[in-house]
A and B are shown apart, each in its own frame.
Chain A
Amino acid sequence: DAKTTQPTSMDCAEGRAANLPCNHSTISGNEYVYWYRQIHSQGPQYIIHGLKNNETNEMASLIITEDRKSSTLILPHATLRDTAVYYCIVRVDVDGNTGKLIFGQGTTLQVKP
C-alpha cells in the first residue's frame, strides 16, 4: 500500500471549513484513498473513501487531484466535536485483501471556539 504524508497538526475556527491535505505520490491505479478519524482514544471512525472522483457524504467531502497524488478532506462546518486525529490511508481494495488498515501518525485537528 502506498505511503501517505499528512501535516502533524492543524487548527480551525468553529463554523469554518476544515481542509485536511494528504500526499500520496506513489499511489497506484487500483488503490483507494480512505479517511478515518479518532476522537480522543475512542475507536477509529470511518469518514469517507474514493478512487478518483470527488466524493461527498453527510460527514465530509473528499477532493482527489486529477493525477491522484494528493487529496483533501473537507469538513464543511467544523464543530468542537470534530477535534480529533484524522488519518489518510491508501490501500488496495480487492478480494483476498487482509483488510489491514495502516494508520500513520495522522493530522491532529484542533477546532477552536
Chain B
Amino acid sequence: EAQVTQNPRYLITVTGKKLTVTCSQNMNHEYMSWYRQDPGLGLRQIYYSMNVEVTDKGDVPEGYKVSRKEKRNFPLILESPSPNQTSLYFCASSRFGRPSYEQYFGPGTRLTVT
C-alpha cells in the first residue's frame, strides 16, 4: 500500500530536549516536505526536499533541521524545542516534475513542548 508514515504519532517533551520526528514513504517519490498546522494559521511549509541531499527552507524553518540521506526518509529534527513549536506536524511526498499534483500526506505527529 502506498503510504507516508510518521513516528511518533504523539510526543510530549520538555523545552531544550532534542527530538527527531521520522518520515518515510514507499512510493519512490523525489519530493518530500514538512508542514506544521496551527489553529487559525492553517498549514505552513517548514522545509522541503527535491531529492536526495537537496533540501531547502519553506516559510517557517526557524528552529528546525532536516536531512535527506536516502530517498525514502526525510526526518525533522528539533535541536532545542520550545513551547512555540507545539503543533501538529505533517510530512508529505510526491513525484517531482510535471504533473506534481498529488501530494501524499502522513497521518500527522502531535507534538507538545512544555
- Considering only CB atoms and an 8 Å cut-off, how many residues of chain B contact the other chain? 29
Q: Does B94 lie at the interface of the complex (its beta carbon under 8 Å from any beta carbon of A)? A: yes
Are A43 and B58 closer than 8 Å at their CB atoms? no
Interface residues of chain A: helix, strand, loop or mixed (majority): loop
Q: Does B45 lie at the interface of the complex (its beta carbon under 8 Å from any beta carbon of A)? A: yes
Q: CB-CB < 8 A to B50: which residues of A?
A: 99
User: How many A residues are at the interface, by size bracket?
Assistant: 20 to 34
**A93 with B98: in contact, given A43-B90, A99-B33, A100-B48 (CB under 8 Å)?**
yes
Interface residues of chain B: helix, strand, loop or mixed (majority): strand
Complex CA gap A109/B108 in Å reads: 21
Q: CB-CB < 8 A to A46: which residues of B?
A: 101-104
Are A103 and B96 closer than 8 Å at their CB atoms? no
Q: Which residues of A contact B (CB under 8 A)?
A: 32, 34, 41-46, 49, 93-95, 97-101, 103-105
